[in-house]
Structure 1
Amino acid sequence: MRSNEHASAGAAKKIPLGPQTPVYTYSPLVLSIPGRPVDLDVKVTAPATGTSLPIVIISHGQGMSNHLNSLEGYTPLAEFWAAHGFVVIQPTHLSSMSLKLQAPPGQEYYWQDRADDITRILDRLDIIEAAVPGLKGRWDSNKVAVAGHSLGAWTASMLLGAQNTDPRFGTVTDKLDKRVKVGIILTGTGKAGDELSEFGHKMVPFYGPDFSTMATPALIVCGDEDVSPHLTSRGADWHADCYYLSSGPKDLFWVKGGKHGLGGISGWDGKETQDEGPERLASVQRVTLAYLRTALYGDSSWDEAREALKGLAELGSIESKN
């Protein structure tokens, strides 16, 4: 973690931020999973000091980069959250380009196994705690958040209670895990059916979401310029469906000028980030951290961030529902 923020963080510096601590990373931690095509590799990033640390598990997206769609990605979020009091765990899902595995029929992108990876990690927290040097006795396994970006956002949504009905077979998938107390949904997925584009139907033929069952508290983060014609015929508002169609409590952060990369959350200087910008990234880092701090530490960070954003329209806006 850097001692100073990027010189171009700009107005995002006005969003309150507490002190940070150095972080360390342990990777890869290899978990043997019977029946899984390959072992489950995870990366753990933790603050060097502190106890009773909450846990955040990040589900990576499905971009076309060779490395970022794995445990190697999302360092801008993982290091930042860890520096401010969280243990961050990142799995490499079977859909990662780094593995180049062929998903079986009906399991495009290993979409169900992605959610299972999060459950597998939760089932093995004691193993992870014992394996990572300096971590024993320092976290609170009852305080768990799940975060996900793009396809990882759908993965996280399922852990938070969203269900899927495969339109081809009518099969209903429910991956709710009540051990997850709160979520961060980054560029979430929207309605299916006629809302998907022609290519979208081919890309995610399994996709038939029901967000009405997603009752776990969550922050949804969307870019107001995140138009995704490869998935939907609608505009950027499609990515906010998981906010509007789910029950509260939920919060929605619209990122001004944000596209699918939200300023660069998946990696430093990632070529697939069309909206790269240190100020935009810093605002996403700070707002998501504030939400996590209040949800899992119970402090006033979220109220302070919302109040600050009222005077920072150039960064974005927040709306909430109970």
Structure 2
Amino acid sequence: MSSHHLDQRIFSVKPITVPAPDRSADLLVKVTAPLSGRNLPVIVFSHGNAWSLDGYEPLVDRWAAAGFVVVQPTHLDSRRNGIGWEDPRFATIWRVRIADLHAVLDGLGDILLQAGGLETRVDRERIAVVGHSWGAQTAGAILGTRVLDEDGIPGEDFSHPAVSAGALIAATGTGDTLTPFAAEHLPFMRPDYSTMTTPALVIAGGKDQSQLSTRGPEWFTDAYHRSPSPKSLLTIAEGEHTLGGIAGEAAAETTDEDPARVALVADAISAYLLNAFELDDTAWTTLNNPAAAANGMWSISSK
């Protein structure tokens, strides 16, 4: 299996309902997979604020073509559910998001069964979580990140034993520099990365200036610098928050549209995960060759 098989045919099945008893709306997921292949690794993907299982096709389709089975839930903050900042449910959505990923991981066998009999084709020992923006914070919790309360005390451990690697795209930095709006509406954006022990790739845009923090783009590298190894950091010099349009080519919030940048994000994650899962180190080794980034478009650090 190699990320070079991008002409491989893929298929998607949606919606599949996942049991989630305490949720105010059904938990629906989409599964995207290659038509052929066995022992396929799995990515559970958490979308950014307001998106849904129908977003991020440029990433998801590329991962499936590279040999991954991708499961995408729609979280409660999706535009489809109409829950705004002022809704009383909003304050706890960050927890529901994490619970969504747990429900997907716990119900994976049944999800795969409903997705065209995929349960016999996946490798249940090789499961990753990936997320973008708010989804990166959600995925980070599954990798071991905790949330600090207002007294700086770390909250509960949300890590999941089925997950052995991950990738965080434009992940929230530490919470000591939140803007007044973020401090009021998003107090859960105080991650403690010191317990994020699971191997992960952190992807940050060199021009991602958040409206939620008073710090510059390096805020999005905290997940790398403040977590224990093994970790890798991919910094994409000209990248802004959507890193070229990963949620969709013409999505309204895409400020830096660039299909090549989107492909880089997708391929770097599949390369990293194939290496972390000890399936194929070729693409990751190539990406880490200094000559690969000689044009200064990106840089990779590892620890």
The TM-score bracket by the shorter chain reads over 0.9
d(CA) in 2 for partners of 1:54, 1:76: 19
Greater CA drift, 304-313 or 254-263: 304-313
Equivalent of 1:35, from 12, 15, 22? 22
Partner of 2:231: 250
**1:197, CA displacement in angstroms?**
1.5
Alignment equivalent of 1:224, drawn from 183, 206, 225: 206
Q: Which amino acid aligns with 1:46?
A: A
Aligned equivalents of 1:37, 1:317: Cα separation in 2: 43
TM-score normalized with structure 1 length: 0.88
Q: Is the 8 A contact 1:309 1:317 kept in 2?
A: no
Matches of 1:17 and 1:121, distance apart in 2: 25
Report the counterpart of residue 7 of structure 1 in structure 2: none
Partner of 1:13: none
Instruction: State whether structure 2 residue 36 is matched by structure 1 residue 49.
Output: yes
- The partner residue of 2:174 within 187, 191, 203 is 191
Once the two structures are superposed, what CA deviation does each residue of 1:106-146 show, in whole Å capped at 9, x if it has no partner?
85260011011111011111111211114241001121000
Contact map agreement 1:166 1:207 (CA 8 A) in 2:
no
Report the Cα distance in structure 2 between the residues aligned to 1:152 and 1:283, rounded to whole angstroms.
19
Deviations 1:18-75 (A, max 9, x none): 2231000000011232121111100000000000001001000015xxxxx0101011
**Shift in Å, 1:305:** 1.5
Which residue of the partner structure matches residue 137 of structure 2?
154
Q: CA RMSD of the aligned region, Å?
A: 2.0
Aligned match of 1:295: 276
Q: In structure 2, what residue type is equivalent to 1:94?
A: L
State the match for 1:312 in structure 2: 294
For residues 58 and 143 of structure 1, do their structure 2 counterparts lie closer, same or farther at Cα, with a shift above 3 Å needed?
Answer: same
Give the CA deviation at 1:89.
0.1
Pairing of 1:162-173 with structure 2 (within 5 A) = 162-167=145-150, 172-173=155-156
Matches within 5 A, 1:1-12: none
- The TM-score, its normalising length taken from structure 2, stands at 0.93
**In the aligned structure 2, how far is the partner of 1:272 from the partner of 1:101?**
19
235 and 207 in structure 1: CA distance in 2 versus 1, 3 angstrom threshold? same
Q: State the match for 2:58 in structure 1.
A: 76
CA contact (8 A) 1:147 1:185 kept: yes
Change (3 A) 1:108 1:134: same
Contact residue 162 and residue 214 of structure 1 kept, 8 A: yes
Q: What amino acid maps onto 2:98 in structure 1?
A: A
* Cα deviation digits, residues 267-306 of structure 1 (max 9, x gap): 1221211011112112212211211221225312211211
Residue-pair matches, total: 299
Q: CA–CA distance in 2 between the matches of 1:27 and 1:106?
A: 26
Gaps of 5+ in 1: 1-15, 64-68
Q: Deviations over 1:171-193 (max 9, x none)?
A: 71321112111111000111112
* Cα separation, 2, equivalents of 1:87 and 1:122: 13
Residue number in structure 2 paired with 1:204: 186
Give yes or no for the alignment of 1:272 onto 2:258. Answer: no
Secondary structure at the residue paired with 2:254?
coil
Partner of 1:215: 197
Amino acid in structure 1 at the alignment position of 2:266: Q
For 2:202 and 2:60, locate their aligned partners in 1 and report how far apart those are by CA, in whole Å.
Answer: 17
The answer to whether the Cα contact below 8 Å between 2:293 and 2:299 also exists between their aligned partners in 1 is no
Q: Which runs of 5+ in 2 are unaligned?
A: none
Counterparts of 1:284 and 1:207 in 2: how far apart (Å)? 24
Q: What's the counterpart of residue 244 of structure 2?
A: 263
Q: Which one is further off, 22-31 or 100-109?
A: 100-109
The CA deviation at 1:310 is 4.1
> What percentage of aligned pairs have identical amino acids?
39
Indicate yes or no: 2:100 matched with 1:100. Answer: no
Q: Is the 8 A contact 2:83 2:89 kept in 1?
A: no
Report what 1:19 is aligned to: 5
